[in-house]
Structure 1
């Protein structure tokens, strides 16, 4: 610890340190006024290290009880020590610590230039999938180092993830971090509601997989441009963390790869046991999709060249095999999508089936990429009018997805709906109606009130009933649906427009029949 300083300080009504003389460390650190950031845990000032002639950042804690607030002072000191222990390029370096005259501590850290994920999304909305994958992969590499050191962050959120000009990422603010083996640690509920894992909301403890849940929230925000669990009040936000499943990123943004979509939903699993095993696995899963931002930094920046050289020697053989598999699958799926766009469903199905046959001999049948290929094959068969074969494949996929991806309800629901559509188009409307009715009950029980899927499904059921000659049932269903749509603010207006059009067509058809 540095000796106490002759620097004068004062305390605001909120307990924040207010530096009145902008010199610290016996004249070593000169601060620039005013502070650049204030938050619930304290404030940060930019400064200059006169002795080593380098820019620094100086952080002071917020102490509502004054300098004698022992608990918060100890937490602040602990954060400084935790951050100093994590020797990782993705964690700001700690240079020095000290106290001012009244006993308030401060920490001198590496000054980090860049943009937080919070700022990135607020100013530009969803980011490119490759950039989102890069940011989160790097953040998880930092968390992997922390977890290996026996530490959990507990407050990962977009404002604590900094994207630097050279494309690297730093994880900030370990103020709530704890040691997993600390016998004195008692879960205190501290954290940010929009990123708090359900187990902590319920009052339980949370280890490394609690950090991974927050990672899922950050990834979701990068991919969709909105929080996974939005609500008007803190209480409602916490309730959503426990009770609701958000729409999948791919549903909101079709360009999100299925594997990234699946990983994001797995990270957001309510049960920690359903989340990925560790942060290293998340990084490896995202690396094949990670790309830089061409508008950010110099590609020949020495740091980028250094990182590229390290990546060359650090890649493991299984990572290379996974990258080759991802490339093969991605190529096949891209070409098949183009064939479908040109209405060549038979050729798309043939390409996907051939790729499946080749890869099945190389990897296990339940490999995630093979499952995605089978989903695409079923969709291609549907587009080609091979409804009976597609229905059988969708039925098998529903069971496989429930077994392999219990958290990914979006994919399972889609397969069930497509199977029902195939049955209806194959002349089995009663079986189709039975499937859709069961699906509606399941969707209603797990999806949020403003999720459009149950409303669209109710419309599909009504149209199926109309096709079966049950026009009175169809009319009652459509009218009830229109009433419910009017009670849900923010729901896509096009759904209501379509239902009104259906009712007009139904009435016109009835009048014509008379």
Structure 2
């Protein structure tokens, strides 16, 4: 799109719309990182001031289990006053998405709840109450980290066990998500019952119940029934809904869901401790989380005492820096590498890892740093270390898929890396899938440059790419988020390959996933792509759906220079589909097209 916010954040992709407004993936031009930008349009000056207070609160929190807020401010957009919030860009699944697929393994449920408790503990210690803890506001990233999101309605003045205040907005509306709201939040703190951090612990109890059993503690359909349940009904014991749970979980959930805040755990730290205890008492025979064999042990070339005070301090510094990932992380890593080199030596494992993480973060600007550190990583960390494998997949894979020369010369090394990555990260690990993607791209490319103008491809090359990328697509769809660039690239390439070989049904299925809004594509998308997509849908058996959008495309073309040839093609395609629709009407006597492809793909 190219729109700039504050002459710094370049909006690149709309990720979604919600109550706040729009959420975009953007590039922070100042520090060269991808971020998420939320843009909203407050209705009153008071709403703007409240947003800024809340953003400032969220931005003051620095914790590995809290999504980092980098920036916020006011702008004018489309002639309207707007506010924006810049936060770290997270890739993964919300707990709501996880629960939609079923009850997670017990070990995962306890681990995730413990990390939520840690995040809330940090917020409560800073005097901040989240007020909207729910599965949709917790993300499990691709690396397994747990992040609590959306402190956008948080408030100050309500630390862990004290403070007061209500949960009413200036218009008298209660804010939050009703299935997870503590009794005192429903009543707005009436009768002297405080609304503080213990209301977040109640919400965590609701989330924990859902993670353990797949059911919320109270699930009335009507609002008045849900209110009555939260205020007066006792929740079921988790063990009554799922056999084999550790006995310590029933009293923990009961305490978290106590009607009186004074009967709940004293603070989030106590909840985290009790969850850890429950994990230690996990019942035999309980389904375990999916795991893979641990990587082989490795040893650094230079040994330093593990309990050395300086070493421990520097290692903690690296861990915290990677978890927090501040805006100047590259500069801080450079300083840390210098300190590590001086204190532990250039060949120490911690020094090598710090240099690797810095090189990975600047590889878009310079690939030489990562290439230079690789031999040292192999020597010090070992070939089977996760960081070494990741670095090799990055260097070798990108050289094979995009670099000069014949991509196939990297085949043997890439196949070796795939085996190592499967052993360390698992079959569906991101590093494993990335290596497979690079191998398929390299083998298809061979000695050629990677396809730029796809229309120049031959049928033979299209079949070759389908054979290599096709088997990878189901694994990518299972493991990656819908907006992952690798998944989108594979879908685009396979859709175009199907088009070239005349497999219109296969192309149409992929195009539906890439472009679910055909009207948006026809009116604002690339006109050639729009024609290709609509033609595939029509040729695959749904000319009615194609015709419904072709007029939108035709109306645009006279205003685009050099598009006369495309206008003729679109007109010819439309005429052919109209004939097809008329013939169908005569044949079945229904008077209209039946939308065959829409039925086929559930649309």
TM-score scaled by length of structure 1: 0.50
Residue deviations 1:10-61, cap 9 Å, x none? xxxxxxxxxx8622221x2211233x23322333111112232211000123
Residue deviations 1:449-483, cap 9 Å, x none? xxxxxxxxxxxxxxxxxxxxxxxxxxxxxxxxxxx
Which residue of 71, 75, 83 maps to 1:105?
Answer: 83
Residue deviations 1:361-420, cap 9 Å, x none? xxxxxxxxxxxxxxxxxxxxxxxxxxxxxxxxxxxxxxxxxxxxxxxxxxxxxxxxxxxx
Structure 1: segments with no counterpart, 5+ residues: 1-19, 301-305, 314-514
Residue deviations 1:304-351, cap 9 Å, x none? xx9xx87xx9xxxxxxxxxxxxxxxxxxxxxxxxxxxxxxxxxxxxxx
Q: Is the contact between residue 2 and residue 12 of structure 2 (CA under 8 Å) also seen in structure 1?
A: no
1:88 partnered with 2:69: no
Q: Which residue of 2 aligns with 1:335?
A: none
1:55 partnered with 2:34: yes
Q: Which residue of 1 aligns with 2:156?
A: 179
Cα separation, 2, equivalents of 1:299 and 1:71: 54
Trace 1:99-138 onto structure 2 (pairs within 5 A): 99-101=74-76, 102-123=80-101, 125-138=102-115
Shift of 1:299: 7.5
Cα separation, 2, equivalents of 1:234 and 1:297: 48
Q: Which residue of 1 aligns with 2:9?
A: 29
Shift of 1:100: 2.2
Shift of 1:99: 2.6
Q: Which residue of 2 aligns with 1:221?
A: 210
Shift of 1:284: 0.8
Shift of 1:254: 1.0
Shift of 1:298: 8.8
Which residue of 207, 210, 218 maps to 2:199?
Answer: 210
Q: Which residue of 2 aligns with 1:248?
A: 237
TM-score scaled by length of structure 2: 0.43
Which residue of 129, 147, 157 maps to 1:170?
Answer: 147
Trace 1:252-291 onto structure 2 (pairs within 5 A): 252-290=241-279
Q: Which residue of 1 aligns with 2:180?
A: 195
Q: Is the contact between residue 157 and residue 164 of structure 2 (CA under 8 Å) also seen in structure 1?
A: no
Relative to structure 1, the CA distance from residue 32 to residue 179 in structure 2 (aligned partners, 3 Å threshold; closer, same or farther) is same
Q: Which residue of 1 aligns with 2:128?
A: 151
Shift of 1:190: 1.5
Q: Which residue of 2 aligns with 1:43?
A: 22
Q: Which residue of 2 aligns with 1:453?
A: none
Cα separation, 2, equivalents of 1:109 and 1:278: 27
Cα separation, 2, equivalents of 1:51 and 1:296: 39
Q: How many residues align?
A: 279
Cα separation, 2, equivalents of 1:184 and 1:198: 15
Residue deviations 1:78-112, cap 9 Å, x none? 22211111111111222222332243111211111
Greater CA deviation, 46-55 or 204-213? 46-55
Relative to structure 1, the CA distance from residue 29 to residue 297 in structure 2 (aligned partners, 3 Å threshold; closer, same or farther) is farther
Secondary structure in 2 matching 1:256: coil
Trace 1:112-511 onto structure 2 (pairs within 5 A): 112-123=90-101, 125-180=102-157, 185-188=165-168, 189-204=174-189, 205-290=194-279, 293-294=289-290
The answer to which structure, 1 or 2, has the higher relative contact order (CA under 8 A, 6+ apart) is 1
Relative to structure 1, the CA distance from residue 131 to residue 299 in structure 2 (aligned partners, 3 Å threshold; closer, same or farther) is farther
Greater CA deviation, 77-86 or 185-194? 185-194
Cα separation, 2, equivalents of 1:297 and 1:44: 38
Structure 2: segments with no counterpart, 5+ residues: 169-173, 281-287, 297-311, 320-603
Relative to structure 1, the CA distance from residue 216 to residue 184 in structure 2 (aligned partners, 3 Å threshold; closer, same or farther) is closer
Shift of 1:73: 1.3
Secondary structure in 2 matching 1:104: strand
Shift of 1:173: 0.6
Q: Which residue of 2 aligns with 1:325?
A: none
Q: Is the contact between residue 43 and residue 61 of structure 1 (CA under 8 Å) also seen in structure 2?
A: yes
